[in-house]
A and B are shown apart, each in its own frame.
Chain A
Amino acid sequence: MNVLIVEDERSLSHEIEIYLTKQSFNCDVAFTGKTAADKIHTNSYDFILLDLGLPDVDGLELLKDAKKANSEASFIVITARGEVEDKVTGLDLGADDYISKPFALAELQSRMQAILRRKHGLKNNTMNIHDFVMDIQNRTVVANGQSINLTKKEFDLLHYLGLHKNRVLTRMQLTEHIWGDVLEDDYDSNYIDVHVKNLRKKLAAHGSIDWFETVRGIGYRVNA
């Protein structure tokens, strides 16, 4: 998977690069709109992560142009502004998703995976976690032929943990994924624990969940 990171903040670009490289993506970077345009016209990418707030060109113009030059690529627009209009225009211009700063890298990765799933149709539409089979399309979980009734948040939680198998996800990463843009007053929320507790209870009724690990003080991990 080839990824082009168009981001004028070198440090941020670097962190994204480190993370995605670890997740086996091939990363290329561009710090200006001009180099980005050059690279987009010469190379072929699967993903283009585009910061709209570039100093030299209008991000939305670049998106329009890049979309023509690299029609196979999936676009994720990054912005620090979180402007509704930008989001709408960005999606109208063909961006596949939109993420606003600051974001968790785990979240970025899961968005990329979601786009991949959408693009490649039904091929990769189930996820197996030991005895449990998740149907991503229909949002159901089945264990030993019995379906388990999960709430939307419980399903998202399990799916997110499953996507990042063998890696600890912090409470914050999980919170951000589940609640996303809900602007609330609590920054130190352990509400995620309530959902984990409920989720575990439901899963445990249908099989062993030794693989569902609590990492003390940090968060949770699903072991393969």
Chain B
Amino acid sequence: MRLQIKFAIYNALSKALIIAAFGAALPVVVEKIVYDHIDKRLIARTERVMKIIHRGGIEDIKAEQDCSFESYNILKEEFIAIRPILTTDKIPALQVLENKQWNIEGENLNHRTIRTPFVYDNQLYELNIGEGLSTIDQLKSTISKFSLWMMIGVVLLSIFIDLGFVRVLLRPFNRIVTSKLQPTISPTSFNFARVRSSTFEFNQLDHSINDMMQKIKDAFLIEKEFISNVSHELQTPISILQNRLENIIVDEKVPEEVTLKLIESQKTLTRMSKIIKALLLISKIENDQYLKNESVKIVELLDEVLEEIEERLQQRNIQLVKQFHDDFQYSPCNRTLLFTLFFNIVNNAIKYNKEGGNIIITTQKAETNFIVEIKDTGIGIEESQVKNIFDRFKRLNQSNAEGYGLGLPIVKTIAAFHHIEMKVESQQNVGTTFKLIL
């Protein structure tokens, strides 16, 4: 998931949470405040009523049949009631404030009520003063609705604003990622252009990445130049030895056993020279020193490779099966390098084949690309080792074949140079399949 979206989601969720908490708390708080106000009012009224009673104002009530008094306003929102407390009733100790259903003219209405017991004329009475709660309930529901809509609105708005803001904020970061952290670019094509930002950390990041890239590039170039120079410098002494041995071998006076030893030495020198050439080839391809401006018919090229390699097939008695379904004009490419690529793969298939085995080469057009498959019925390699076959100087299962372990690294380098995707499947004692997707 992209950082920007994560930020937006986080912000939206955190805001929703805060607003939800606020929305949940609001009715409770509102209720508390409103009750406080009502309670104060009720207490004040109780005091006033008590004053009236003590001045003797209760005589009227006593005149009533059941010795009680009840009064309420027209909307039944407020009432005052005085009732005598019978001895059978539980005697309330103190003033009590509570919400209570109060029946007024057959209607049960919720009221905030204050009950105050008092003694008058040796009779225990209870004063009830109430205020209706229907308006308050309404208020509470209005506030809840309002806060719900408010919450939705704020969350939506914040998602938009955050997306926009985070986008602007992260723009330099995204630019650093897209311009500098592409996995495919080689050190020679690093992008060192500064990414400007007003954010300190991004500047720091860009700076550090540039520094690191510079170091990588320098190390890369030094390594390549080193390989290239060493190769050049080594070829000359090898050349001298090679030619000196050749001159000695030609000399008829040299005894045969010496000649044989000299020939062995020549082979060793050739081996050295080939390793150097292979390393130089790899380094030159990696340095983009080869042009890629030719066009090649793949089947034609494969036929050429097979002609070049036929004696090896013959020598190991290997049957070659060509399944060339389609041809493909591949361009731009480097013909010589492609030749080497296929040569090395087929050579590998011969080397690691069984005596009298098969090699099946298939070419096929796919939807958007062209596939060349080279399959052998050879000794194969363990699945866990497949990833290592392209490593330089790594030799697997080579007890029965000679080589210097650079054939496949060369293949890999050439494939990468042409952006050819390569898949290798192998099974021990069954064979190996190289699949090239052009």
Contacts and interface: CB of A to CB of B under 8 A. Distances in A.
B246 A185 contact: no
Contact of B247 (A15, A170, A172, A217): A15
Nearest to A217: B260
A183 B277 contact: yes
Given A82-B280, A191-B311, A217-B263, A184 B347 contact: yes
Interface string B218-239: 0000000000000011011011
A184 B266 contact: no
A159 interface: no
B257 to A, nearest CB: 9
Contacts of B404: 185, 187
Contact of A187 (B271, B280, B348, B410): B271
Nearest to A190: B315
Contacts of A153: 311
A102 B272 CA distance: 11
Contacts of B239: 9, 12, 80, 101-103
A102 B407 contact: no
B267 A172 contact: yes
B382 to A, nearest CB: 21
A121 to B, nearest CB: 31
B250 A167 contact: yes
A187 B232 contact: no
Contacts, number: 123
A19 interface: yes
Interface in B278-308: 278, 280-281, 289-291, 308
Most interface-central of B246, B274, B402 (chain A CB within 10 A): B246
Most interface-central of B232, B256, B271 (chain A CB within 10 A): B232
B293 to A, nearest CB: 12
Contacts of B270: 172, 187
Contacts of A187: 267, 270-271, 274, 402-404
Contacts of B208: none
B314 interface: yes
A16 B297 CA distance: 41
Nearest to A188: B402
A13 B65 CA distance: 147
Interface residues of A, number: 42
B423 interface: no
Contacts of B273: 102
B340 interface: yes
B240 A12 contact: yes
A22 interface: yes
B156 to A, nearest CB: 64
Nearest to A187: B271
Interface of B: 232-233, 235-236, 238-240, 242-244, 246-247, 249-250, 256, 259-260, 263, 266-267, 269-271, 273-274, 277-278, 280-281, 289-291, 308, 311-312, 314-315, 340, 343-344, 347-348, 351, 401-407, 410
Interface of A: 9, 11-12, 15-16, 18-19, 22, 53, 80-84, 100-106, 153, 167-168, 170, 172-173, 179, 182-188, 190-191, 193-195, 217-218
- In order of increasing CB-CB distance, the 7 nearest A-B pairs are A185-B407, A102-B239, A194-B311, A187-B271, A15-B243, A185-B403, A101-B239
